[in-house]
Amino acid sequence: MPNYDIIPYNNYDIIPYKPEAYRLFHEGAIALAGVEHNGLKIDVELLDKSIAEADARIISLKKKMSDSKVVRIWKKRFGDKFNLDSNDQLAKILFDVMGHTPTIFTNSGNPSTTEKALATVKEPFVKLYTQRKKWQKARKTYLGGIKKHLVGDMLRPSFNLHLAVTFRSSADAPSFQNMPIRVAWVSKLIRSLFIAPPGYVIVEIDYKGVEVCFAACYHKDPNMLSYIEDKTKDMHRDMACQLYFLKQSDFKNAEGEAKDWMKAARHAAKNKFVFPAFYGSVWFQIAPDLWEAMRVSDLKNADGVPMVKHLANQGITELGDCNPDGEPAEGTYAAHVRDIEKDFWQRRFPDYAQWKRDWYDQYKQRGWMQTKNGFILQGYLKRNEVINYPVQGPAFHALLWSLIELELRELPEHLPDVKIAGQIHDCMIFYVPIKQVDELVGRADEIMTQKLRKAWPWVITPLEIEVDVCPEGGNWFQKKGYKK
């Protein structure tokens, strides 16, 4: 047992400091062993069909690419060394030989060939190239990983508590926590493989906005607390109004219901500005993503006007310079985002901004920090890591605490037929008899939002859960919001 009276100074030690932190991981390891034993059921027939489809797609895309102008130039330039999977060669052909202008660079200063970096290259080949990359990853990483570790029709990933420096969990054999969700067709290809046993449905329960809530437990910014506690307020809606010159009244129809376009504008503000800003990104990184999202999506204002045109009506017609060492010209979107970022931290959340400065200064002075629930983080950490890790760890620990209560105590006593089949940082995957869904949701909600706060008095914000349920006989991809 560690000596809890001594703060460790060895930069390579990452340990639970307080007794309650040790107990959390001790019981957590036992509970997760039960989750591994329960396992995840796979549609093996569909898996084999999906592997065959992926192989055929990759071959077809390679053939189409081979007939393109880019590959002809590529082969002529590199001869016997031609390698269709070489990013360095691709960058040389597109940017040096064919003269396309790179927009994103690697840390070493070379043109990047990520999907995001290639989005501005107007060559039909690029679309084929990025599609093939996605199919290759789907085939090798996801489909191949599932097939490799399948035993019968069951998948039992290993859930680890000892590898991530944030004290979050990880999963391997296969990497279940990284199953795709952002690209719809890839998500459908992979998540459709996960099914429930006969008579059961898949239920997914996760914490809603838990990292924002736990960050507020550190900085206690009154404006942030007000956003969390007052359900009439919406931070992401307000930021969408600022970013796109909109009015709050635009976001609802005459019946007070959210308009469809509102979801897209709010989603862009949330995922392209708010969370990047919270996690340490800055205006010259944020502005290009927001601008690109507008150009390639069907983002519109309340009157149905495309957002790019709407911004042009406000006098903004170009992105502008996003050089971190320079200043964008006034009237550009980059300058607009820069000014909003300044307002975000100086007016909207000044106490949060001050906490970040104080927290980082404290870390620099002593080389370690303690999370709210008793873990020590130390060693050589970047500024963003110093600010984010103490939030990410406890956010997962809230789920782990709840999983322990359910797996070791609540379910065996009250719902023995319900099984926890998997865990992904802030959510749990359950197999639930159809008639027991309502009872499970009720018990999980009480544990995750009420009992946890009593056990952890430092949690000063209300907590919420989100629940999705898959149809009977359906699969994980088909999940829909729970309605009692």
419: DSSP letter: E
Residue 35 contacts residue 403 (beta carbons within 8 Å): yes
Mean pLDDT, 10 residues at a time, the chain of 484 residues: 44 62 95 97 98 98 94 95 94 95 81 86 93 96 97 97 92 94 93 97 97 97 97 92 88 59 84 95 92 78 87 93 86 96 97 97 93 91 95 97 98 98 95 97 98 97 97 96 89
- Report the half-sphere exposure of 170 (CA within 13 A, side-chain side): 8
Question: What is residue 260's predicted lDDT score, i.e. its pLDDT?
Answer: 66
DSSP 153-196: TEE-PEEESSS-TTS--EEESS-GGG---SSHHHHHHHHTTEEP
Q: How many CB atoms lie within 10 A of CB 6?
A: 8
Query: Alpha-carbon distance 216 to 461, whole Å?
Result: 8
Helix 383-404 with 210-219: angle, nearest 10 deg:
120
Number of H helices, E strands in the chain: 21, 12
DSSP 3-state assignment of 230?
coil
pLDDT digits (tens, 9 = 90+) for 180-214: 988 899 999 999 999 999 999 999 999 999 999 99
CA 84 to chain centre: 30
Report the run of H or E that residue 128 belongs to, with start and end.
helix 124-137
Single pTM value for the model? 0.90
Question: What is residue 253's predicted lDDT score, i.e. its pLDDT?
Answer: 56
Residue 338 contacts residue 242 (beta carbons within 8 Å): no
